[in-house]
Amino acid sequence: MSQTRILVVDDEPFNLDIISEYLEGAGYLLEMAPSGEEAWALLRSHQTSFDLVVLDRMMPGIDGLELLRWIKADRRLADIPVVMQTAAASPEQVREGLAAGAYYYLTKPFEPESLQSIVRAALDDLHQRRALAERLAVQRNALQTLQRGVFVFRSIDEAHGVAAVAASICDEPDVVVLGLSELLVNGVEHGNLGIRFDEKSRLRETGQWEAEVARRLAQPDNQHKQVRLTVSSDAQAWVFCIEDEGNGFDWKEFLELAPERAFAPNGRGIALARQLAFDTLEYQGCGNSVRATVRKRTKAG
């Protein structure tokens, strides 16, 4: 397995040294860029590819926000997660960064644990997206004739597999699979297993999330709980209805990309699914049921 390569961009040498010190023990391969111009040259080089960018917002010349927009506008680079580290942390400034594609934030000055936690979260999300893309490549075109189908599952791994199969019917499965996976996994971990947002943050920070999910899946009260995905179709859209057996949650606060959650290792998935993957997304009742739609493309000719 190749080493994880991280590009760190900051015009202050002291900050580059600090970030290097905080991350050096984690086995990452770090590349330092003292300006937006140098960072862009490295990113555009076909000799080097990066798994993550840690980016300072306030820099002379090409600043962090402008560089971020360039990254997200480039098809080859758009998938790279960006951690924005900055002293500009007002809600409006964070919203501006979120709108440009920075879904992970750090406020200067930060502790080593904060940097390490947000970097791990961003890389975990990237690896999950890449794993879903591989599954999707296998499933593509498998269900093109489907009119209605029901999937029932228990585990997070099964949720990812179902997402790949179900998304393969859509015109843009690479995008839909990310949103479906988020909703299906939420049904397992937050719905049936009752893992709260703050609990997941703590478990991810301490590296105990997977073990806790396995422990709760094995509990007698949870062994028979299932998540159900019903897929249906009409002339205009695909409809995905997901229902779990949990007690629901206060879903309203998770529909938008809230600035305060940009600094947490999790909690942005539902908003991103709503924004990027689906044309509509509506929670129903107490929050243990959600309906999402994806419009069908009009075929020419």
Same domain for 227 and 96, yes or no, is no
Q: Does 251 fall in a domain?
A: yes
Q: Residue 76's pLDDT is what? A: 86
Domain tally, the chain = 2
- Residue 68 is assigned to a structural domain of this protein: yes
**What pLDDT is attached to residue 208?**
87
The identity of residue 248, as a single letter, is G
- Give the integer Cα–Cα distance in Å for 149 and 233: 10
Per-residue pLDDT at 225: 95
- State the pLDDT at residue 47: 67
Phi (first) and psi of residue 260, to 5 degrees: -65, -25
Whether 300 shows a pLDDT value over 50: the answer reads no
* In-domain check, residue 220: yes
Per-residue pLDDT at 301: 40
- Which pLDDT value is given to residue 85? 86
Q: Are residues 81 and 34 part of one domain?
A: yes
C-alpha closest to that of 236 among 284, 295, 291, 287: 295
Averaged pLDDT, 26-55? 90
Q: Tell whether 253 and 157 lie within a shared domain.
A: yes
Confidence category of residue 34, pLDDT binned at 50, 70, 90:
very high
Single-letter code of the amino acid located at 215: R
Q: For residue 83, what is the domain's CATH number? A: 3.40.50.2300
**Most confident listed range (26-35, 84-93, 160-169):** 26-35
Is 134 part of any domain?
A: no
Q: Would you state the pLDDT for residue 139?
A: 61
What is the DSSP track for 241-288? EEE-SS----GGGGSS--GGGGGSSSS-HHHHIIIII-SEEEEETTTT
For the entire predicted model, the pTM comes to: 0.64
Lowest pLDDT segment from 131-135, 183-187, 236-240, 293-297: 131-135
Please tell me the distance from the alpha carbon of residue 299 to that of residue 301, in angstroms, as a whole number: 7
Q: Any idea what the CATH number is for the domain that residue 253 is in?
A: 3.30.565.10
172 in the same domain as 103? no
In a domain, 184, yes or no: yes
Contact assessment for residue 122 and residue 81, using Cβ atoms and an 8 Å cutoff: yes
Does residue 171 register a pLDDT over 50?
yes
What's the mean pLDDT when you consider all of the chain? Answer: 85
Asked which of 30-34, 95-99, 242-246, 286-290 is least confident by mean pLDDT, the reply is: 95-99
pLDDT of residue 217: 94
- Could you report the per-residue pLDDT of 86-111, keeping only the tens digit for each? 776 667 777 777 777 777 888 888 88
Question: Per-residue pLDDT tens for 109-121?
Answer: 888 888 888 898 8
Q: Indicate if 152 and 273 belong to the same structural domain.
A: yes
Q: Are residues 73 and 212 in the same domain?
A: no
252 in the same domain as 145: yes
Q: Can you list the alpha helix ranges (DSSP code H) found in the chain? A: 13-23, 36-44, 64-73, 91-100, 112-139, 156-167, 173-186, 197-205, 209-217, 269-272
Q: What pLDDT, on the 0 to 100 scale, is given for residue 240?
A: 96
In a shared domain, residues 220 and 163: yes
**Range with the poorest average pLDDT among 132-141, 202-211, 242-251:** 132-141
Integer angstrom CA distances of residue 104 from 55, 125, 169, 269, 296? 10, 11, 31, 12, 32
Predicted pLDDT of residue 289: 94
42, pLDDT greater than 60: yes
Is residue 133 included in any domain, yes or no? no
What angle, rounded to 10 degrees, do the helices at 91-100 and 64-73 form? 30
Query: Which residue did the predictor score with more confidence, 282 or 173?
Result: 282
| Residues of the domain holding 40 | 5-110
Residues 154, 102 share a domain: no
Is 117 a domain residue?
Answer: no
Look up residue 232 and give its DSSP letter. Answer: E
